């Protein structure tokens, strides 16, 4: 799939590829005396794939949860698409519709194919047509190299 100059129609985030999309500046998070996120400064550009790696307990999940506002930060700022992360309400709900997360213990719906799992949210949340969602879903599966697995059920996939 060739990168495009703008976001797909299924997103409200409109920044061109290569532009800063997620910016964390001096982000800190404490749990009591435990300083979990210590002055985190980073930029994720549009179209970039980022992997967060570290030992157990180093704050990887806390960082990801903070970016989606599932976890509050104590100091610093997080901006997405040039806007400060909203604290609550409709703006936060809209952000969560645009920012996807896969948690450590993710689960696919066992009774749906891989493609059905991938297209469920665009159809139900974004009201995309099944055809459009399947075209986009196949593009995404192709992008990660598993388009040939689209019609399989989750139990048919390797766990590795």
What was the pLDDT predicted at 120?
92
Query: Mean pLDDT throughout 118-123?
Result: 91
Residue 5 pLDDT greater than 50, yes or no: no
Q: Are strands 75-80 and 83-84 parallel, antiparallel or unpaired?
A: antiparallel
Segment 88-107, tens digit of pLDDT: 788 888 777 776 666 555 67
pLDDT per position as a tens digit, 42-76: 999 988 878 888 777 889 889 988 988 888 999 99
CB atoms within 10 A of CB 95: 19
pTM above 0.95, yes or no: no
pLDDT-wise least confident of 61-65, 132-136, 155-159? 155-159
The pair of three-digit structure tokens given for residue 56, joined into one six-digit string: 């157990």
Could you tell me which residue, 105 or 147, shows the higher pLDDT? 147
Say yes or no to pLDDT of 10 above 50: no
Q: How confident is the model at residue 2 (pLDDT cuts 50, 70, 90)?
A: very low
Dmax (CA) for the chain in angstroms is 51
Cβ atoms within 10 A of the Cβ of 105, count? 5
Q: From 3.30.465.10, 3.40.50.1780, 3.10.20.600, 3.40.50.300, which CATH number describes the 20-98 domain?
A: 3.40.50.300
Report the distance separating Cα 103 and Cα 54, nearest Å: 15
Closest CA to 135 of 154, 124, 122: 122
DSSP letter (8 states) at residue 144? T
Helix (H) or strand (E) holding 21: strand 20-31
Please state, for a pLDDT cut of 70, what percent of the chain lies above it.
Answer: 82
Domain ranges of the chain: 20-98, 114-156
Mean pLDDT of 79-93: 84
Whether 110 and 154 have beta carbons less than 8 Å apart is answered as yes
pLDDT of amino acid 25: 96
Q: Give the per-residue pLDDT at 70.
A: 85
């Amino acid at each position: 799939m060739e990168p495009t100059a703008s976001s797909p129609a299924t997103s409200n985030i409109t920044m061109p590829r290569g532009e800063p999309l997620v910016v964390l500046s001096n982000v800190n998070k404490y749990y009591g005396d435990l300083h979990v996120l210590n002055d985190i400064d980073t930029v994720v550009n549009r179209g970039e794939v980022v992997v967060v790696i570290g030992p157990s307990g180093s704050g990887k999940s806390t960082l990801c949860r903070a970016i989606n506002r599932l976890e509050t930060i104590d100091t610093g700022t997080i901006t997405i698409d040039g806007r400060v992360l909203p604290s609550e309400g409709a703006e936060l709900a809209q952000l969560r519709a645009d920012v996807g997360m896969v948690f450590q213990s993710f689960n696919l719906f066992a009774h749906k194919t891989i493609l059905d799992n991938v297209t469920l949210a665009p159809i139900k949340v974004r009201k995309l047509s099944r055809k459009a969602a399947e075209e986009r879903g196949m593009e995404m599966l192709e992008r990660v190299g598993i388009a040939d697995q689209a019609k399989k059920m989750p139990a048919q996939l390797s766990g590795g």
